[in-house]
Amino acid sequence: MESEPGTGGTPSSHAWLSIPAFESPLHVGQPNIGDRAVFDSYVDQMFERRWLSNDGPLVKEFEERIAERAGVKHCVAVSNGTAGLDIAIRALGLSGEVIVPSYTFVATAHALHWQGITPVFADIDPRTHNLDPESVRAAITPRTTGILAVHLWGRPAPVAELQRIADEHGLQLLFDAAHAFAVSASGTPIGGFGRAEVFSFHATKFFNTFEGGAIVTDDDEVAEQARLMRNFGFAGADNVISAGSNAKMTDVAAAMGLTNLRSIDAVIDTNRRN
């Protein structure tokens, strides 16, 4: 067993972690960046208005465009996808145990654990890497309040089967759609399944706002609660009616999103060809 540098010869089972696989970083890809001139024009508008955050005009326009693209009534833009999951989980009133896929990014389970909810891991379908409905059924207990499914790698989860299970057992159904913006399931855009879905617009995603996310839903109550929770519970300029956090998207992030929306179809076409 090798020793870690600077430990005086103390053996370490983690010494292999310091050995690089490549001489230089091997990047999977680079962020998609739209027309710089378009982005600059949005930023100029932002500076002229001196409205940088707090539900500014660019954020409102961005929310309208995302809702339209996802085919839903409501889009609540947030600072990142994980914040969106945190808020959506609270807005749905989840507690006890929530079933999640055993194969997903850590944020899916962390968002539950941080709120005192036990993530219960169900198996995935080896062909799709998404939740196996039969494994979900087997994982349901009297403490189960919901299912948090993931559209992994942009491949839609079995939405109809999961909704059927949720309805049969009186469970809430929420989707982590971090990978699935602009994706469709049997011709229906991802965004309107379950009670809500959560997008990530991190720089590593094919559509990005530098850093950002969105909760999308057709449920008026979920949308109202999400808007309150992302802004300290403010219902108006000086009326705080509930506890909340600070998960607002900035206008410069919305500017990046509006810019990239103009080229998203071209990016999708390029990805399909490659």
What CATH number has the domain bearing residue 65? 3.40.640.10
Q: What is the pLDDT of residue 20?
A: 67
Q: Is 73 a catalytic residue?
A: no
Asked if residues 176 and 150 have their Cβ atoms less than 8 Å apart, the reply is: yes
Q: For residue 12, tell me if it sits in a domain.
A: no
Q: Give the pTM.
A: 0.90
Q: What is the pLDDT of residue 27?
A: 77
Measure the CA–CA gap between 251 and 257, rounded to whole angstroms.
Answer: 10
Measure the CA–CA gap between 121 and 227, rounded to whole angstroms.
Answer: 30
Q: For residue 1, tell me if it sits in a domain.
A: no
Residue with tokens 């995935």: 124
Q: For residue 10, tell me if it sits in a domain.
A: no
Q: For residue 26, tell me if it sits in a domain.
A: no
CB-count burial class (<10 Å; 0-12, 13-18, 19+) for 109: buried
Helix or strand holding residue 226 (H, E)? helix 220-229
Q: For residue 274, tell me if it sits in a domain.
A: no
**Short-list 32, 42, 31, CA closest to 255:** 42
Render pLDDT for 82-138 as a digit per residue (tens, 0 to 9): 999 999 999 999 999 999 999 999 999 999 999 999 999 999 999 999 999 999 999
Q: How many domains, the chain?
A: 1
Q: Tell me the residue range of the domain where 169 lies.
A: 32-269
Torsion of CA 249, 181, 189, 101, to 10 degrees: -110
Q: For residue 19, tell me if it sits in a domain.
A: no
Q: For residue 9, tell me if it sits in a domain.
A: no
Measure the CA–CA gap between 171 and 194, rounded to whole angstroms.
Answer: 10
Amino acid identity, residue 215? I
**Catalytic residue selected from 60, 73, 205, 248:** 205
Measure the CA–CA gap between 166 and 173, rounded to whole angstroms.
Answer: 6
Phi and psi at 30, nearest 5°, equal: -125, 155
CB-count burial class (<10 Å; 0-12, 13-18, 19+) for 144: buried
CB atoms within 10 A of CB 274: 5
Helix or strand holding residue 270 (H, E)? helix 264-273
Q: What is the pLDDT of residue 26?
A: 77
Tell me if residue 108 falls in helix, strand or coil.
helix
Tell me if residue 137 falls in helix, strand or coil.
helix
**Short-list 126, 114, 119, CA closest to 152:** 126
Q: Which tokens go with 225?
A: 């609660």
Q: What is the pLDDT of residue 15?
A: 55
Measure the CA–CA gap between 213 and 80, rounded to whole angstroms.
Answer: 4
Q: What is the mean pLDDT of each run of 10 residues along the chain (274 residues)?
A: 45 58 78 95 98 96 99 99 98 99 98 98 98 99 99 97 99 98 96 99 96 99 98 93 96 98 92 82
Measure the CA–CA gap between 213 and 249, rounded to whole angstroms.
Answer: 8
Q: For residue 22, tell me if it sits in a domain.
A: no
Q: Which residues have a Cβ under 8 Å from the Cβ of 149 and sit 6 or more positions away?
A: 100, 101, 130, 131, 157, 159, 162, 173, 174, 175, 176, 194
Q: Which residues have a Cβ under 8 Å from the Cβ of 224 and sit 6 or more positions away?
A: none
